Chain A
């Protein structure tokens, strides 16, 4: 198996699914001739033609709204929002239309659109190229929210999202697009929606994290090992519906949990995960559930490195839980 980057794995998933199913289309700004600003759709325009790889006018309402209509009429559209920071103009189309089509029509119409969006910080992009909006979409009934952290998961989860019957917000950690490389299965490759991954097993504490924070968590776990603590790192991969079974089993065993995410703290997804853990694992808990997160400020440009959680800040939260 060849070693590929996460962005290449996304490209591979799109090409593989488009070759397999002629109803799969890609649409968005600069996705055609340009091949996407991050090159996620490179080569697709030449291979599959302009009818299936659609360069759209600059309008996110139009992109998502059009994708909904395409999905209602038999296509499987994958809409790209150039940065997840630009997704907000399409918020109404996503939360009131795409997410609700099945429910409000009692299953007569569905909008199984995949909306891909590069997400998160770490590229010196300032407020408008760095946000992590997952919590908005997790809060919305009817959406599946996915965020892979490895090339293999990116390919397999995107393929599953495209084949699935539910609308999916597929957030790609852009900081990892070219910084992680691994062997990815060639040809058709599926990773199931709704199943987490134990990144690293451990016995003393469960560290739950996703996206670009997964490598941060791994480094923190390594440092903890040097201090004599065994930390289990879990990447849910599908943020919603969450693989609660995996988290519950782990925390019931370790008795301690810390949640790590780069999105702001208040009403971040970590708050929901913490609530679920205390509801389900209360009698096993040896310490309060900890959170390491971005701050409740706009995403700062110059102070990005201090805003984003790092291994040191994570390790402090791990130590606090272990020493409680």
Chain B
């Protein structure tokens, strides 16, 4: 095994997980401990906690704001997000011992197709090109590359469970995989590190922008 494979398979998983956890905690704490801002709600505000949760679920499940106010972007966004949801579920199921191979494949396909379509949408819209920086393209290319290489390397085969468990038990053992797997793993690790540091952190930042600001829940 090459040195880089050793690093990617043995060391970097812990770096990625560590950075992810620390970044989420640091950013989360920064926002959670923010001084209470002046009320800056946007109405209508859901009147009860139940209705607020329902509205947030609607956002998560159907991306309601995009569906309602930016339909041209909705299908691509939905594919990408559903792909990510599926991959999250695949990870969970795999770790607990359920072979969810096809769910992983579907999830990666969703991310791949979604990111390609979003990239094409961004490139073909003069308005979106105007407001985009390199980082917006990088985000999509990272998602595209990660999902494509993961599919190519058969990343979602059930044998990954042993590797995932070996990481959890602090004795990582990636030796059963070929070189392609390590390319995919490297990209996944980069994504895990990058996710909470980028604007993609909205997966949990939205709690603050909606709950604390838009709805004024303190």
Say whether A and B bind each other. no
Chain A residues at the B interface, C-beta cutoff of 8 Å: none
